[in-house]
């Protein structure tokens, strides 16, 4: 086995190297701003060796919260003219709808409450910081329940909102969009990473068309909801909000706050999760709200059901099958599916953060052997290939950005075998 101390030290060095004072970038160069769920994972990583810095990361993220409760997926703390699409493209700050920080107009998977609870467990003296964050988290969850649900399942209104940008889940819904009038633009991601590992131009045109629509409507949720060209009920969003809601209720108990509204949301989300079960696919799946059709896409998000506390035995069979089909589980899309691509972003590659949430969920549901197998696989990926953004599920080769914040964070939070964790 590799020297644990070496990997622990490297993970900490990546976090501190990507630290920009009060927030962390996902990796230097490729992603120059603060991303929502990346930042939450970063905070979890910091809690391993600097818990004050962990709290600061979360507090900085929530400093960009909008008056309506939404916490954006990007906060543009500093100008970086080379990044596209930057704050001038989103136009949220000019529309007067943001908080004090220029931002994007959409959110990302709501994992904050879960990891804030973990940070507090590492720092019981941080109760007042927890108390200060509590009403902000409640408003964040309320925003999702108000503007992003269909039949109790949580939806996305832009592929970027899911965190799984180019997943096959969105292909059907995105094909209905004609990105007329998008104009010319220059992407930053394909100048830092092999274009074969990133979303296609056809994908990107539609992404930008949706951004331009949001800007045209002033990012007014009521106006945006009148005629949604793209709205998909998403397992990632549904399962992460359900888990975070359970953790938020526990935080309420610690603080002596009322949890009735939170518990009502949990019941609604539990019912919503049932609407994501696809009998044909024998799996949880994304559902196009506009057409009512399932995506027919088994993805790593399907396995977040355990993270949400839903123990469906049929998913164990699926996990075994996809793990046998790709040596380095869990592929972001079914390795036996027709759209599998082992290197293109969310159409096949393994993501350590998803493995971590799946593994912790398996542990919580009592599937210890499966969880340990997944932990060992994920640990091996990093030990043999470094702290990459994602990995090829067939070869284990690193892909995307390098020295990645959230990959370092999950090493410190879940993968390092020190302290008897083995």
Compute the distance between CA of residue 28 and CA of residue 125 in angstroms, rounded to an integer: 33
Of residues 189, 203, 285, 389, which has the active-site annotation?
Answer: 389
- Contact status, residue 405 vs residue 26, Cβ threshold 8 Å: yes
Question: Which residues, including other chains, have CB under 8 Å from residue 338's CB and lie 6 or more apart?
Answer: none
Whether the CA torsion 37, 42, 45, 49 is positive or negative: it is negative
12 C-beta neighbours (distance < 10 Å), count:
18
248 vs 196: CA distance, rounded Å: 40
Contact (Cβ atoms closer than 8 angstroms) between residue 303 and residue 164: no
The pairing of strands 74-75 and 149-150 is unpaired
Active site residue 165: yes
Catalytic (active site) residue 279 = no
Place of tokens 């539990």: 270
Q: Are 330 and 319 in contact (CB under 8 A)?
A: yes
**Best CA proximity match to 37, nearest among 128, 106, 133, 138:** 106
Structure tokens at 324: 């046998």
Distance CA 93, CA 299 (A): 35
Q: How far apart are CA 333 and CA 320, in angstroms?
A: 14
Question: What values do phi and psi take at 248, rounded to 5?
Answer: -65, -35
Our measurement of the distance from residue 165's CA atom to the centroid of its chain's CA atoms, rounded to an integer in Å, reads: 10
Helices and strands counted in the chain (H then E): 17, 10
Q: Specify the DSSP class assigned to residue 18.
A: T
- Calculate the CA 6 to chain-centre distance: 28
Determine how β-strand 287-288 pairs with β-strand 232-233: antiparallel
Q: Which of 8, 48, 165, 285 is catalytic?
A: 165
Query: Taking the CA atoms of the chain, what radius of gyration do you get in angstroms?
Result: 20
Are 45 and 409 in contact by the 8 Å Cβ rule? The answer is: yes
Chain centroid to CA 318: 22
Alpha-carbon gap, residue 333 to 337, rounded angstroms: 7
**Residues with catalytic function:** 165, 389
């Amino acid at each position: 086995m590799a020297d644990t101390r070496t990997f622990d030290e490297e993970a900490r060095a990546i976090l501190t190297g990507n630290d920009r004072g009060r927030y962390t970038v996902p990796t230097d160069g490729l992603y120059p701003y603060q991303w929502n769920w990346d930042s939450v994972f970063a905070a979890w990583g910091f809690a391993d060796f600097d818990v004050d810095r962990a709290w600061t990361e979360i507090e900085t993220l929530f400093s960009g919260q909008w008056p309506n409760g939404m916490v954006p997926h990007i906060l543009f703390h500093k100008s970086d003219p080379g990044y596209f699409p930057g704050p001038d493209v989103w136009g949220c700050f000019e529309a007067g709808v943001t908080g004090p920080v220029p931002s994007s107009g959409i959110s990302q998977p709501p994992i904050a409450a879960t990891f804030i609870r973990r940070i507090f467990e590492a720092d019981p003296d941080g109760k007042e910081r927890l108390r200060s964050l509590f009403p902000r988290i409640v408003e964040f969850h309320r925003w999702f329940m108000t503007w992003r649900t269909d039949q109790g399942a949580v939806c996305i209104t832009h592929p970027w909102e899911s965190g799984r940008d180019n997943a096959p889940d969105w292909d059907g819904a995105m094909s209905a969009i004609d990105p007329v009038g998008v104009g010319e633009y220059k992407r930053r991601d394909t100048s830092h990473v092999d274009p074969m590992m990133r979303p296609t131009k056809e994908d990107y045109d539609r992404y930008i068309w949706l951004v331009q629509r949001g800007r045209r409507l002033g990012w007014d949720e009521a106006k945006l909801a009148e005629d949604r060209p793209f709205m998909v009920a998403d397992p990632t969003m549904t399962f992460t909000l359900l888990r975070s809601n359970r953790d938020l209720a526990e935080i309420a108990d610690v603080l002596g706050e009322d949890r009735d509204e939170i518990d009502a949301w949990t019941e609604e989300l539990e019912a919503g999760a049932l609407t994501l079960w696809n009998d044909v696919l024998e799996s949880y799946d994304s559902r196009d709200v506009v057409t009512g059709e399932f995506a027919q896409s088994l993805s790593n998000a399907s396995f977040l059901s355990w993270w949400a506390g839903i123990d469906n035995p049929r998913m164990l069979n699926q996990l075994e099958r996809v793990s046998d089909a790709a040596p380095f589980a869990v592929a972001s899309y079914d390795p036996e599916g027709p759209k599998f691509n082992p290197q293109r972003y969310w159409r096949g590659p393994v993501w350590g953060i998803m493995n971590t949430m799946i593994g912790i969920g398996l542990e919580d549901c009592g599937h210890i052997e499966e969880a340990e197998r997944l932990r060992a696989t994920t640990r091996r990926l990093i030990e043999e290939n470094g702290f990459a953004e994602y990995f090829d599920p067939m070869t284990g080769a690193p892909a995307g950005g390098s020295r990645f914040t959230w990959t370092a964070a999950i090493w410190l939070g879940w993968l390092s075998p020190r302290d008897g964790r083995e």
